[in-house]
Structure 1
């Protein structure tokens, strides 16, 4: 009793980049899970039953593509400090973890830091390198989405 369970996987992925957009605009966009599929390649869908940026305590569900398998996530916002910080905890049959966004104003841009922490009791060989690649692509997509005005 009282012993901490060890997982086969316990990993962190940290990305940072500058986005030439205001901190409020970035925060509002990234804290709407129903829009994550617009910029993140693993996000397939989300349902929040809440318009706009999610508040502290809000629960939502999501579906991600994990190595070609659709995984359903149950999520809850555990930190919502607009426009500087947002954190959600997620759980599923395959993977659990947190998604943490930290934002800072830098001149006329926003420094956006995304930290994904995930654990799994499954042997998901090769997942970490793939998630790193998809996280890099996601942040490039996010930067492009927020910096390039729609035509």
Structure 2
């Protein structure tokens, strides 16, 4: 085989491999990541719910949340949207969150899009306990292509898990530093 044919064959293999890594993954084969964190917060469930479902508070407790714009000053209801500027695992961007589920004070869920593409969901589940509120945060996101799936498994997931763990730890600290709401028994 002549050298230019060998080079051409190698180039075709590289282009083919790159195309496979970057092609969208069929929905049935998508690699979905779930990052779940739970913490008990010494505050009533309604207090915790109202705080976490008010996007203006996110930068106060979530290390990845840099700023929030839009209707961010109240607990959001289904259909309401906000735009969040984030820094997740070293990647900076903007995500538009839409509230898709709300059952105060136990469940709140948002779906995100980045540049019109699915970016994941965040679901908060709250339950009263004798110590206050059991708060569960489930962040789910799908790999849009094989390259992202590999990068996520090798690098991103661990960083995102660490940021999520720090977030719920900060959330507990911020809320427990507040005075108990009137009528909650202190």
Band of TM-score, shorter chain:
0.7 to 0.9
Cα distance in structure 2, aligned partners of 1:69 and 1:132? 14
C-alpha distance after superposition, 1:100-144 (max 9, x if no partner): 000011124000010000123353441100011111111110000
Residue 148 of structure 1 and its aligned partner are, at CA, apart by 1.5
Structure 1 moving runs of 4+ over 4 Å: none
Q: Unpaired segments of 5 or more residues in structure 1?
A: none
Query: Is 2:93 the partner of 1:71?
Result: yes
- Normalization by structure 2: what TM-score? 0.72
8 A Cα contact 2:89 2:160, kept in partner: no
Asked whether the 8 Å contact 1:23–1:105 carries over to 2, the reply is: yes
Residue in 1 that maps onto 2:50:
28
1 or 2, which has the higher helix percentage? 2
Find the structure with the greater CA-based Rg: 2
Shift of 1:95: 6.5
Structure 2, unmatched stretches of 5+, are 1-25, 180-186
Mapped pair 1:97 → 2:120: yes
Whole-Å separation in 2 of the counterparts to 1:95 and 1:69: 16
Identify the residue that residue 40 of structure 1 maps to in structure 2.
62
More strand by share: 1
Instruction: Say whether the 8 Å CA contact 2:56–2:72 is kept in structure 1.
Output: no
Quote how far apart the aligned CAs of 1:67 are: 2.9
Using structure 1 for the length normalisation, give the TM-score: 0.88
Query: Could you tell me how far apart the structure 1 residues matched to 2:37 and 2:91 are?
Result: 24
Contact 1:40–1:138 under 8 Å retained in 2: yes
What whole-Å deviation, never above 9, does each CA across 1:80-105 have from its counterpart, x for those lacking one? Answer: 11111100000115871100000011
Match of 1:146 in 2: 175
Is this contact kept in 1: 2:70–2:81, CA < 8 A?
yes
The count of corresponding residues between Structure 1 and Structure 2 is: 147
